[in-house]
Amino acid sequence: MALFRVGLGLMLFCDVVKRSLTLREHYTADGVFPGAIASQLEPDFWLFRVFLLSDRTEVQALLFVVAAVLAVCVLVGYRTKLATILSFVFLVSIIRRNPYACHTGDIWLEVQTFWAMFLPLGACFSIDRLRGRAPRIEGNAFFSVATIAVFVQLWVFYFMAGYLKHGYELWVRGEALHVFTGIVEYTRPFGAVLGQHPGLCRFLTYFTLVLEMGGPFLLFVPFFTAQLRLLMIVLFAGFHLAIQLSVYIGIFELLSIVALLQVLPALFWDSVLPRVPVLGSIARMARRRRPRLRPGFARPLPRGIAAGGQILAGLSLAMVLVSNLNTARTGTIRVPRKLDDYARQIGLIQNWNVFTDLDNLFFGWYLVLGQTNEGRVVDVQAGTDYVGIQAPEHPAESFTNHNQRRFWGQAARPGQEWLRFHLARHLQVIWNEEHADPLFHLAIFHIASAPGRGQKRQGVRRLYLQEFPRPDLDRVSEEEQREADELRRQWRLALGAIPAFVVP
């Protein structure tokens, strides 16, 4: 649990850092999702309105700093219980502030932080332990409802991910990984190389299905338990590392490895680790030079509060099981709407349907055209004059982080015109701040194909068009009116020249 705490704190810190790269874009009034809209989202529990205190950039930056400090406190084990609870509140709050810039990795981090609140993560190798404020643990083992929940949550996470994939023909045919490596907005160079070997991709597709559905059962085998559990961890860790090297998917895969640290058996610490050349030497030195700890432990919680925490953990685990059962068998157990809303907000209503329907999704890249007041047609993202459709060499690297990639993907979905409006407004604000010649018109295009259908050409779909209204005849001269009409004519000619398809 101490190693898991360090990993969790590191993941929380990395999450804050990567989100800060698009702080203004995603979390301020000038961004793509203003607070006035975010405040209307449901559910609206007051505890998770932290990032709705203000839309000003400096206030959001301060909140990010607080979140980063809390993550460091979890990492080093300082006031561990309080830091973990507050980190959870901040994490849920930032997801609630802009859910359209979030992904499965954010929900998985939310889930891991939730269960961490019920565990004595500061009992060992922590500042709390050095200060004599750690919770009292007899021996090296700890058992509670929360520890049961950790094992069950891992089993549910992997088993459901594999079970849901079996419902899609692309996975059953063994073609999913080959299709996935062709998704240009996600694929890393290693993934592109992997995609050149269809036979290997087919094997890895079936290996994924077998591993996700069969691997979690190794947690509960009653014989050779430690050996089989260690084998499971090694297999899944290698699996997640391979995915991390192949695609841009945020912290999801690394976080999954951190989650596995919770179930490392004693065999690892007593037999495996000491035999690793470098790590074994460090472990032996640590045993010889243990820090002098202050005597005493933290005062135990009152019995009623401790029992209440266990009951809450048990009820939360029941909600996790119910939600996943409903995902597997739609509507098996009806959950009241209000309870469903709040449980979903804190990660207890779960759906691990990850990258399943690949052949029915459209993936690609984005082109943003603008016309300035001087009549130039420009590529807004590149900041240069537009000279024709030219795909970026590495489309996946054109996004600042995975959260930005997700928001653009959400905006491209049918029925999300209102998201595109705020996206266009933000792009216009940024351009006008950085260029002396402001934008007069703007258009956003999604250039994509459905890789699962074997399409080689990419369709060009216009997502959004912003044209400024005609000048008021009572306020401008006839010459100014003619100039505006000429600009509009040139702009429409430029739009008319955009092809319906391109071949990458």
What average pLDDT is seen over the chain? 88
Helix/strand/coil (H/E/C) assignment for every residue in 214-276: HHHHHHCCCCCHHHHHHHHHHHHHHHHHHHHHHECCCCHHHHHHHHHHHHCCHHHHHHHHHHC
Mean pLDDT for the stretch of residues 71-82: 96
Q: What does pTM read for this prediction?
A: 0.91
Token pair of 307 as six digits = 């029992």
Token pair of 391 as six digits = 């795909």
The pLDDT value recorded for residue 283 is 60
Token pair of 236 as six digits = 């899944």
User: For the chain, what percent of residues have pLDDT higher than 70?
Assistant: 91
Each residue's pLDDT tens digit, 341-383: 999 999 999 999 887 776 556 678 899 999 998 899 999 998 9
**What backbone phi and psi angles, to 5 degrees, belong to 366?**
-125, 145
Between CA 96 and CA 465 the distance in angstroms is 29
Paired strand residues for 187: 247
The structural domains of the chain, with segments of one domain joined by +, span: 1-142, 363-502
User: For the chain, what percent of residues have pLDDT higher than 90?
Assistant: 59
Each residue's pLDDT tens digit, 260-318: 999 998 888 888 777 777 666 666 665 555 555 555 566 666 777 778 888 999 999 99
Each residue's pLDDT tens digit, 147-201: 999 999 999 999 999 999 988 888 999 988 888 887 877 888 898 899 889 999 9
The pLDDT value recorded for residue 132 is 84
Cβ(186)–Cβ(396) below 8 Å = yes
Cβ(162)–Cβ(206) below 8 Å = no
Give the model's confidence band at 137: pLDDT under 50 very low, under 70 low, under 90 confident, else very high.
Answer: confident
